[in-house]
Amino acid sequence: MLNDDQFSEFQSQESQAPHVHPAAFDDARKSSKLQLIHALHQEHKAGKRGQLVGGGLGDAMNSLGKMMFDVGIKPLQAPWNLATNLAAPLTHSTTVSDHAKFLASTIEQSYELDETKRADYIGDFVRDTDLSTEYTDVWVDTSTSPKHVIMSVRGTKKSGDFADDAVIAATGRVQNRIGLDVGKMLQKYPKSHIELAGHSLGTQFIAESLREHPDMYDQIERISLFNPASTPLTEGSVQKMSDDSKTYFYENVGDLVGLGQMMWSEPPKNLVMKPPQSMNPLSNHSLDQWLPETEAETGQLTPEQTADILSGKTEWQHV
């Protein structure tokens, strides 16, 4: 319920809409709270009787309310967003697909700082070791047409990453550390089915790379963000992707790192929201909750084997 000051602010909004009768705006601005509640109830009953009520008081109220949010009534917007996100496990899927679990498996490998200890393959996907970096790996399934290519992006692992976390906490943004790597992947695997998948800090790296290089966005088929990093202080790069049809969010209601995501954005268009896994906030932010129950098949290859498979000289056949 709006308090008196908020209600006055609501009624003071100047709004015009072609589908709303001007008299309906006048009623919305001049009536008391109780009068509005009674009138809306009567309009609702009329609509149930089959009478035409479009362009009436209800539409006028919606238009004025939207105007309030458009002009930045953040004290109302943030609690509303937070409430709808906290209720998301009741309104959105809590089921993690096998594909999402596989993506989490690729990110798990990227958390290994020693690149030589990362798996060279996971199931049908072979790691292109020439494109591995301290933050990313590129995984390629050469058996499909077009090739299926996934870039996995890790989150916070080493001490230097905490400086990036602090910048996110203050600004909602971070330095673009993987843009060039995304570009190299796209150049090496043109006309492929490309996916980006990141966890925590890695989600910000993905968002910043696409923000600074919007030309790359059209070449990517799917973006998966696990436990996106955010701040309650301001809207960040990740939050601006919430309405994107090819971006998928995997969140946990109990994840404090995702509090900013839940405050600055209504539930994303594509969302899997888990209920809290533990009273421990770290568990609710962990990549482990997205991993498959049965560990994915992994193994090592020689550099020659990797090169032959990725070039198409040898067909990849894992056990």
pLDDT in tens, 294-308: 988 999 999 999 999
> pTM of the prediction?
0.75
Structure confidence at residue 276 as a pLDDT band (50, 70, 90): confident
* Topology given in CATH for the domain delimited by 90-311: Rossmann fold (3.40.50)
Residue 80's pLDDT is 55
- On the question of pLDDT at 10 being above 60, the answer is no
CB 214 within 8 Å of CB 220 = no
- Model confidence at 236, pLDDT cuts 50, 70, 90, reads confident
Give phi and psi for 299, each to the nearest 5.
-175, 180
| Percent of residues, the chain, with pLDDT higher than 70 | 74
pLDDT attached to residue 111: 98
Mean pLDDT (whole number) for 217-224 = 95
User: Residue 143 in contact with residue 315, Cβ under 8 Å?
Assistant: yes
CB atoms within 10 A of CB 285: 24
On the question of pLDDT at 69 being above 60, the answer is no
Alpha-carbon distance 155 to 171, whole Å?
A: 18
Reply yes or no on whether the pLDDT at 18 is more than 70: no
Answer whether residue 146 shows pLDDT above 60.
yes
Query: Is a pLDDT exceeding 70 seen at residue 91?
Result: no
Q: Judge whether residue 150 has pLDDT over 70.
A: yes
Axis-axis angle for helices 57-70, 4-11 (nearest 10): 100
Please state, for a pLDDT cut of 90, what percent of the chain lies above it: 48
Strands (E) located in the chain: 121-122, 125-127, 136-141, 148-153, 193-199, 222-226, 247-252, 271-274, 298-299
How high is the pLDDT of residue 250?
96
Averaged pLDDT for residues 228-245: 86
Q: Is the pLDDT of residue 199 over 60?
A: yes
Residue 66 — pLDDT band, cuts 50, 70, 90? low
Question: Average of pLDDT values for 71-82?
Answer: 56
Residue 107: pLDDT band with limits 50, 70, 90 = very high
26-47 per-position pLDDT tens digit: 776 777 767 767 776 676 666 6
Specify the domain boundaries for CATH 3.40.50 within the chain.
Answer: 90-311
The least confident of 48-52, 75-79, 89-93, 193-197 is: 75-79
